[in-house]
Structure 1
Amino acid sequence: AQLRTLMSTLRQHEKDMIIQYENAVEVGKAKDAWTKTLAQIQSSAKALSDTLPHEADRAKVAEAMARMDKFKSAFLPVAKQLEAMGFDSARVAAAFMARATPDYDAAQSIIETLASDLELAASAGGKRLNATATTVMTLLGAAVVLMILLITPLTLLNMRSICGPIREAEGLADAIAQGDLTERSVDTRGKDEAAHLLQTLSAMQTSLRQIVGQVRASTDSISTASAEIATGNQDLSARTEQTASNLQQAASSMEQLTGTVKQSADSARQADRLASSAAEVAARGGQVVSQVVSTMNDINASSKKIADIIGVIDGIAFQTNILALNAAVEAARAGEQGRGFAVVAGEVRNLAQRSAEAAKEIKALIGASVDKVDSGSRLVADAGKTMQEIVGSVQRVTDIIGEITAASSEQSDGLTTVNSSVAQLDKMTQQNAALVEQSAAAAESLKDQTVRLSQAVSVFRLHDAAIAH
């Protein structure tokens, strides 16, 4: 039993190294425990071999240890690579470890076979012991008969006090040898050796009945519990495998979602750059419109100055016309002598009138131009306000896109963290699945051992009260 337990423990350390393939420290600890357990297996096997009486059984132990040596030789390189973190995943490490498993399985099979043989030998020894007890009781009966024949007078006198208890003792011992531990009505009164023998046998039967009853009850409880544990472990293993599959699908979906969010974040950053560029262009447009407004204001001021100058020219033309009229009047008064001067004054008057008319036309054109410049200035001012509103709107859009970009970055970081957590959870689920498989195997082994124990105890027959107890 100890050797079987150590073999299972060795297997557990091996699985611990595979599960902790990313942690060199834990792998080193598991390797040290594995080496210590292997030494205990070899020591236990040597002790077992020393106690075996048959050479064939000792040869089986030696063969099992030879297989374990081969398993050790194949296992140590994989363990060193595990300790150096040389595997990409637990599955790859398990595949390499599986190459050394046949030698371990062969050694375990030899040990299980040897254990079964030893159990059969023990059972046969028990049967031989029962046969010997029967023979002894038969010889004892023959001796009693012989004694009766030799000392008939004494036997006739002491028949009731000696032969009766001896027959009861014989029947009781035979019942015990056959496994019948049901309570019998035995007269144990008296102080002689026969009475003492009956008392001892009765006490032994009672003690055996209690012990076997307790063992049988415990065996039934263990059998029921082990069956429930085995069933529960199978269900848990199935659910754990389903959970692992769901986690793998979730991890794949999280990776796709992370990629989509990162792409959205990149698009948001590109939109942020475009919005910033549009804001700069709108700002420059606003500056240009402001310059146009300023230029239109300057043109408006210049137009007003030109209108003032034209007004001055119109006034000069009016005064010139009046002076020419006065000169014509004076020339008329002068008569023939002032006729030439009158002609000149008339021409001057005509020029003054044409200058006045031209000045009026220019003034009208300048007035219309001033009105149009005023209208243009108002339109440009409105355009400037509109550009300012556009710049403000673009700036708000830029701010919103910036907030979207920041939120997308935070979402991307959060999804990366969630993705890492899902991957870690998937790893832990895989480890739990391996532990559940080990627990299921242990429960099945316990169930088998319980069945064997029940079969061994079923040889004894008890009354109902002892079974209930």
Structure 2
Amino acid sequence: MKIGSKFTFFKNLSVFKKIVIILVISALGLGLVGMEGITSVNKIAKGEEIIYEEQLIPNQLFGELRSLDAKLDIYSLEILLSESAQKEEVLGKLIATAEEVDKLQGEIDRLRLHPNIQEKYEMYKQKNSKIGEVAKKMIGLSFENKNGEAFTSYLEEVKPLRDEVNNALTDIQALNAENAEFIYKADKTIAKKTSVFLTTIMILSLLVSLLVGIVVARSIVQPIRQLQGFLSEVENGDFTVEGTYKSKDEVGKLTSSFNSMIGGVRSIIKTMSETSEQLAASSQELSASAEESTRASEHISSTIQELSDGSKNQLQSVDNSNLVIVDMSTSTERISKSTDHVLTNAQETSHLSKEGKESINKVSTQMKSINQTVTSLVEAFKGLKERTDEIGNITSVITGIADQTNLLALNAAIEAARAGEQGKGFAVVAGEVRKLAEQSAQSADQISKLIKVIQVDTQQTMNTVTSASSEVNEGLVVVQDAGTIFNNIEGSITEVVTQIDEVANLVNSLASGMGQVTQSINGVKEIADETAASSESISSATEEQLASMEEIASSAQVLAKNAETLQLLISNFKV
């Protein structure tokens, strides 16, 4: 289908359907914007939920797990270094710490972990279970005062397993950080694409709505203004005008009815002009006949006969004119009905425009709801940032404990040096304790760095969500602008309704004018009837011929005057 044929198809649509097309285009654009905005916000919220539940909380628990494992090592070594009286007390602390580890593992087991992290965690649990078995053996040797064998068991069995466990926890935290970074980048990409998509859809919707609105307004207003100008010319007596708008819509039908009405009136005026000329000629002939009858009474009979024939012809012409006027009145009534129909459709269109305005208000309310949701998401990120700050404080405490342990190990080494040869084993134990303290400090430092990375990612995500909130506010402004456009369309439609109402009033005025023309024709008919009656009286009473001739001459003058008046009225019309 060619572009011209498509435009003709649109032009032939009714005004109601054209307005519906504008409303549908605007509703589709707004629906796409709202749906895409809601979908994107849900995706971002889902990503942040995954970061919180699968990365942040597990990392916090794994950090606590590393701290408890370090305490278990410290208590195990402390049992080896303590006197028999203190071993029971330290063992109680070790058992309590082991219970905390079991409780913490239970919490981690209930979490939804990433598959690769779950695999590392299962390996950790297996190694940790082996550490428990070996540690029981080592503690049993210590309680039997076999500290040398117990320490050898620690170095050869416990320490390698503990290193593997620590490495597994380090890998888990690193994987969590990588997964969080991946989700953050994905959310950032979604936010960027959504921003571009929403901006594009809003611009396209506005452009298409404005273009279609302008086309519809021009297709309605221009023909109406043309008809208004033509009616002004008709009011001044110019019946040569003709509407040029061709369409199958209400305005096109109104233009066609207007052209038909003007054509009918033009035919009537031409007929009336010809009839008035005939009437003037007949009156002149009648006057001449009366004068001739006065001078020559012998010609009275023939003159009266001619006058009677002329009166009959005149009466027939008046009857024909009266029929044409009746047809014209019927056409005027049809035009009035068509105008009323167009006025009704325009009022319905105005009602639809108001409904479109209400739809815009509903979409604006939905956009405000989305804005409130994004604001709540920002508040949730603020709470997330506070939790990461608390974790940072915990790592600081762990670092302090490691420093104190390192200091105790240093003091133990000094005491071992003082003990001489007997304190060598004790010095080795003190060195291992110092190494464990250093490892704990390093682990706490790594946790602190990971927390800082998560804090930075959380802040960037919060900034992205804040930006999305700003874009939603901009979308809200665009929706309000669309509402303003609908207000303008409603004003234009109201103006169209007013103009159509004016056309209806002009048509009613034309119908009233046709009534006056009908009265004039009836007056002419009465005069013709009087003329015929006078002719019959003269024929039946020749003895009163002279007096009757005077009356005929007087009637002929009145008839000529009426004919001149009618011609003067008709000359005001341009056909």
Using CA pairs under 8 Å that are at least 6 residues apart, name the structure with larger relative contact order, 1 or 2. Answer: 2
The TM-score normalised by the length of structure 2 is: 0.36
Find the structure with the greater CA-based Rg. Answer: 1
The TM-score normalised by the length of structure 1 is: 0.44
